[in-house]
Amino acid sequence: MDLQAVQGPELATAALDQRLRTVTIQAERGSILDASGQPLALTIEARNLTTDQRLITDAADVAQQLAPILGIDAYTLGKRLKGTRAFAYVAKDLSVQTWRRVEALRIPGLFSEKTSIRVYPGGDLAANVIGYVGAQGQGLGGIEYAFDDVLAGRAGSDTYEGNPGGRLIPTTARSLVQAEPGSSVRLTIDRDLQFMAQRAIAGQMAKSGSDSGTVIVVDPRTGDILALATAPTFDANNVVATPAALLGNRALSDVYEPGSTSKAATLAAVIDQGAASPSSWFRVPPEVKRGPNSFHDHDGGGKVSLTLAGVMARSSNGGTIMAAERIGARSLYGYLRKFGYGEKTGLGFPGESAGRLPDIRQWNTATLPTVAFGQGVSVNAVQMAMVYATLANDGLRVRPRLVDAVVDPQGRTRVLDPEPATRVVRASTARQIRQMLEMVVSDAGTAPMARIPGYRIAGKTGTAQYVDPSCGCYNGGVIASFIGMAPADQPGLVVAVTLVNPRHGRYGGELAAPVFKKVMRYALQARHVAPTGTPSPHLTLTAAGT
């Protein structure tokens, strides 16, 4: 009587608590699409294979039947099948086709549990952009992480009364909250161009014996990143077997001293301030001394008379220093800040570095000379590509974009508006710099290997000293780079190439420029960019006899 009258309600509640089961219903994760809507990452239906071990009469025999279907050795399967548990997992994340093969065996005690898996149809295609998910389906890298709240949706739940084996007791109450699927994210990436860029940089990395390499293709008018390739990369379908060092995106996380590619920004500041023009002359000595420091040009020649255009074409450190001194440290610092040095790109990408531009209050007698020709500062590859995108866009700086739109589960598309552009230099300055950069790819410049027949090409080589991360010092290695645009008078595309620590070859003009040419030529054709038909400029570079 005491059990029924006094403890009855309490015991009934305890019994109900033992029977209640709550199962989380995972929301279907949204897809990641390329610019044309092709899936780069999607979620598909899958099955977990479960067992009621009490119904398995011969675990060894069942294991032998399952082993060739599941690709798991029979001994391991036997241990999972043998026992007295009412519920146990045999294998997870099986394709529906694999489950159908298991089901066809009609073995009592085997069941399927509906689930889903994330797949990446392109394998390593844009893997360092897309990222990857964890065991619970949460974004852990790349766009998967940065847009996890958009892609993930909202999980539901199923609460019911179950028997000791976990199965629903008929006629009992049940509370079901449906999951809300996630939205899809459409990138600016062109999958075909991305494939081409990955193949080109991987091939040159192997040929040159480089530690790594990157290729960035950007539309300078919109900031849309059309390709963001890194090498080495990884297969997004097999993250477990991938070393952690390969999972990030080197084009945003790794920083380097830009070297001579930074001279375009320095000389743009000089021209914009009216301190020189492309035809201004500089008598450049073989050695430029500033305080206790001496600076030399890469060719080690004697005194030479160069125009500012010649300083760019010859990539003269001394000439760049002399030009920068006409505007002074504070002015140069201000322009570099406007170009985006020392701040993140705004992509919101996990692991991105802002690089480093020393605060003007920390500059000394050696800072202006070194910063002028691209040492003593650090950038990531996307930052540097966007410097050239600004010059290609007539001096207007736009933020880079990797995500173009969000598509909700009902198929409604919300295009993400680009941020307003900001002016860095006058349009006339940008045009003059582009003409000077065209001379870099002439026979008199450092990158004739970047030329593409029929198109006006403008760009700049870089061969910067490599800072070895193991010691934080220069050890003789370099960063070989080339950044260029086409058509030079009406730029529609910018391509930036970097190779880290090459062992076969050294200079950006010989290593990075050919990759630029291959990728840019493909991009121009694929995007139907016609030559402008205008002639290239003929700028005076040196005095006669020098």
Write out the catalytic residue numbers: 260
Question: What distance in Å separates the CA atoms of residue 73 and residue 412, rounded to the nearest whole number?
Answer: 47
CB 171 within 8 A of CB 178: no
Q: Are 435 and 537 in contact (CB under 8 A)?
A: yes
CB 315 within 8 A of CB 305: no
Q: How many CA atoms lie within 13 A of 311 on its CB side?
A: 31
Q: Which amino acid is at 423?
A: R
From the list 322, 19, 269, 271, the residue with the least C-alpha distance to 169 is 19
CA–CA dist 130, 113 (Å, integer): 28
Q: Where are the alpha helices (DSSP H) in 393-546?
A: 427-440, 508-526
CB 230 within 8 A of CB 128: yes
- Signed CA dihedral, 202, 207, 210, 213: sign only: negative
* Residue closest to 220 by CA, chosen among 471, 523, 500, 543: 523
156 burial via Cβ count (<10 Å: 0-12, 13-18, 19+)? middle
Is the link from the previous residue into 487 a cis peptide, with omega within 30 of 0? Answer: yes
C-alpha–C-alpha distance, residues 159 and 174, integer Å: 6
Q: Which residue has the tokens 């002015």?
A: 331
Question: Whose CA is closest to 72, among 52, 92, 44?
Answer: 92
Q: Positive or negative CA dihedral for 227, 232, 234, 240?
A: negative
Phi, psi of 57 (to 5 degrees): -85, -30
Do the strands 32-33 and 184-187 form a parallel or antiparallel pair, or are they unpaired? parallel
Q: Which of 494, 489, 490, 432 is nearest to 459 (CA)?
A: 494
Q: What is the 3-state secondary structure (H, E, C) of 314-375?
A: HCCHHHHHHHHCCCCHHHHHHHHHHHCCCCCCCCCCCCCCCCECCCHHHCCCCHHHHHHCCC
